[in-house]
Structure 1
């Protein structure tokens, strides 16, 4: 174990971070776990003790039936991974809570950014990947049209906007052998063909209380949402009653029923009975758009690879080979480095070689292929835009209504074709799944970075308003849209969520709104913070926005506003 003072310093940095700012429970749980370990009481780190000491449970608490400790520990792991993918990327000492245990582990990291690849959590920061590794970002790739690069950046963020960070179990034998032997899937003797691709995804059922109009209205919205997600297999069944047949660990059930004056939704693992999510919706008086947004918020946290369904499968060890490959792919986009890229690529590549007819396999291979070109990874040996485009075409041909396939095609075209063509595919991906708020946010951001503020801003506003939690780059993008539309009050509301961040472009956004609204004292403080940070933005705003691929009119207006607020930068 490293020295206790170093562990405490690492702990203090984490709990004071932006990632943990909105999660008091996660902060309390992490403090408790680490302090108990440092005090020599690691043996006390059990579900029962944590439930009593951290979450105020009484002596009747049963961690086998009350999942609060497991759920909060899972969220803590998510937040730690998110922290180390962004604010804590340079931390020399890292704290981890391994799956299946509450005893912390401590890892010493190489703090050279070039040794770990680039880890960013917002599109504007992506432009400075090369700079953090000691070379200008502009030198990493040939110059391309502004809109094309912006679309590529935003689509890359769309691919990485998930929150799935569970550690996977050690590598099993070659996937081709595993599929035939059934060693990585709960089903015996499966063959990797199109006939089983749906079986290899989590299945979701709905059971509703019949005869209640509000329950049926919620269930209808839930059905429309679930069918739009490529990452789950929605099975339509009779409205009520019991479901026949054995249940697998990859089967999940939404129960929808009346609860007082509200509609209660509960997501269960059908094999274990574990409740993954429970929520009440006050539907009386709400219109259809409001209800759809409530369901979109719920499903965005449930159905993607970053959601609670895949997290439950990882924790229980019930992943099929396809689920495992998708999880590896997700992990790469949250911590981009050559090793993570190769693990995801080889996993999906083996499935493609077995001719598994899943559009997810080919869509993600297409995107990973482009990542190999952009980041100059050594695997595959000779990546080409043509091969990436072929993967994307197969995905679209296999599933013409797949949001993932269209998203992937848009990403590939952002590197190989016109900005308009790339955005056309990205828009189609958004339209095919209006219940995925992450996809909506990325499309709105893409439109804003293409200079289309009137269309992009309302789409991003809907995502921000509907999501119960979201990354800060959504708020920053919303600020840009409102700022360019001249709505300073709305721009100020957007940047209010950025107050705990020390990122230069976030401080600049707050500075501009404070100055424009006549908040002199606040503007003076923010100007000093920006100048003391010694960032590229403070030294040379024009270069910062040019490297960030901002639209020309947005860059000019932003720079002028910063000059007016007192930031001179380079002359």
Structure 2
């Protein structure tokens, strides 16, 4: 007889089916929301499922988030309910277990298909919202010439992607890991300075056709002066172009210089400077449709000689960084070029790692490289995907580390001064044990693009792995402050630094922020916390899941952890911890 309530395994399988579905593939904000509330329910922490915790732990809002002034959780909850209804009315109608988010609560309900009725599509209520924290019911590969990279897309990947590929284009946006779709509503600038965020949220859920193919082409228009601002409009515009041009995947057009006159591709960035000493209001418009997708006012203070540079850095970071405004808007466009789509898919993998996402990203990137052998940023992204294949054994094929090095070399030969190609080479050299050269490249990265928060955090993670905890966490914290849609590895390395320094409150908080169920290092962090708190059943369940995802942990944790190049003191302590959890050294 089937149990009355679905088991945790059945619920996690249901969650995976939903989040990997076509309906949810391009809605990372909803995936993060749903994953968080489901995992908290399964952990017996339904009482923590409140608007504040969802905002700060799933949607990237800062600790001072005020649900009375920012309706993001209620907005996203409504979108999530509608998306689930549509999914179960379509491709998910045969799912044996269904997940519901009842109105008036954020706590999910789990029910078998035969118990579930098909409710009507949710319509926002005019009644005041109430939170209730009730207890839930519970083959041979073609060789890419000159690299030694063997690219073997799966048959499904060939059928699903190769037939649709267009010629790849240089300078298109790298994209996000299941990064947040509505980052537009609350991206935090590095340091002080944010005063307001205005977003046309109706754009996010609009079903209106989006017209021409969207590209990551960014035209920088004129900067206008209103009143007696001390900011030089031309100096600010020039500084903005310099910042934006450092992002490899964006084609920057200087409209004032007469380039591409009358262009209606991609996006247009304009700004006005006001009477305040350091005020600038920026607007980003999607040119093919004329939609204003983002506008925001920034403040800068200090020496007026450097105000233009400070403002340009903050604006450029908000717009162009990984998981930033431009990338978030690209995610909702139904017609982006295939190169951009594949880079977005790769970023999705880093945001929510799983075997399925890894295979999809690898197949997609390999197909683009086959079509355009000189696509440097695609080669760099592919190198990092191969590197994670080596470290996690997901979709393992022969010699992943050699393939990663070959792709990184080819990428850096194509664009030696690209931050992304240097990033890939740094990561591969570090994995191969060439630490000194890797860190040298890492320092060069910050010269190539000091505004890319992912590069800043990546360098910080390298310092943490080497035992330089304070240095590493400072860099990761700076990156996270400017980028609330950061991927889970930021929090793993925050956890690791706190764990090694004996700061258990910080370690526990960092581990709790990791909600991605298939993130292998996240499971290592959660095992350590559960063990410290004496939760033996949780330790066993987490250890079993870890081995299920990467069987090598069930054979030799020393071998599995050795792939991450941790300092000896870190590796040995993690081995001891996992040994106590029943996993052999």
**TM-score w.r.t. structure 1 length?**
0.55
How far 1:29 sits from its partner (Å)? 1.8
- 1:527 pairs with 504, 509, 534, which one? 534
Q: Cα gap change, 1:245/1:221 in structure 2, threshold over 3 Å: closer, same or farther?
A: closer
Residue 225 of structure 1 is matched in structure 2 by 243
Verify: 1:309 aligned to 2:326, yes or no: yes
How far 1:174 sits from its partner (Å)? 6.5
Residue 342 of structure 1 is matched in structure 2 by 363
Residue 286 of structure 2 is matched in structure 1 by 269
How far, CA to CA, are the matches of 1:432 and 1:484 in structure 2?
32
**Within 5 A, what are the aligned runs for 1:73-152?**
none
Q: SS of the residue aligned with 1:213? A: coil
Q: SS of the residue aligned with 1:441? A: helix
Q: Which moved more, 1:329-338 or 1:538-547?
A: 538-547
The superposition leaves residues 313-336 of structure 1 with CA deviations (integer Å, 9 ceiling, x where unpaired) of 454444335334433444555554
How far, CA to CA, are the matches of 1:258 and 1:306 in structure 2?
29
How far 1:448 sits from its partner (Å)? 0.9
Kept in 1: contact 2:499–2:507 (CA 8 A): no
**TM-score w.r.t. structure 2 length?**
0.54
How far 1:460 sits from its partner (Å)? 2.0
How far 1:406 sits from its partner (Å)? 0.5
Residue 21 of structure 1 is matched in structure 2 by 54
Which structure 1 segments of 5+ residues have no match?
A: 41-53, 55-90, 94-101, 105-168, 186-198, 513-522
**Within 5 A, what are the aligned runs for 1:55-74?**
none
Residue 234 of structure 1 is matched in structure 2 by 252
**Within 5 A, what are the aligned runs for 1:157-236?**
171=161, 173=163, 175=165, 178-179=166-167, 201-210=216-225, 212-214=229-231, 222-236=240-254
Verify: 1:433 aligned to 2:483, yes or no: no
- 1:398 pairs with 403, 414, 420, which one? 414
How far 1:233 sits from its partner (Å)? 1.7
Residue 412 of structure 1 is matched in structure 2 by 428
Residue 295 of structure 2 is matched in structure 1 by 278
Which structure 2 segments of 5+ residues have no match?
A: 19-32, 41-52, 60-72, 90-102, 104-110, 114-119, 123-158, 173-213, 516-521, 548-552
How far, CA to CA, are the matches of 1:427 and 1:295 in structure 2?
22
How far 1:405 sits from its partner (Å)? 0.9
How far, CA to CA, are the matches of 1:383 and 1:350 in structure 2?
23
How far, CA to CA, are the matches of 1:371 and 1:337 in structure 2?
9
How far, CA to CA, are the matches of 1:292 and 1:392 in structure 2?
32
How far 1:557 sits from its partner (Å)? 6.0
The structure that is helix-richer by fraction is 1
User: What's the Cα RMSD here?
Assistant: 5.6
How far, CA to CA, are the matches of 2:88 and 2:345 in structure 1?
35
Q: Cα gap change, 1:553/1:36 in structure 2, threshold over 3 Å: closer, same or farther?
A: closer
Kept in 1: contact 2:244–2:316 (CA 8 A): yes
- 1:360 pairs with 377, 390, 393, which one? 377
Q: SS of the residue aligned with 2:54? A: coil
**Within 5 A, what are the aligned runs for 1:496-507?**
496-499=509-512, 505-507=524-526
Verify: 1:443 aligned to 2:455, yes or no: no
Q: SS of the residue aligned with 2:441? A: helix
Residue 561 of structure 2 is matched in structure 1 by 548
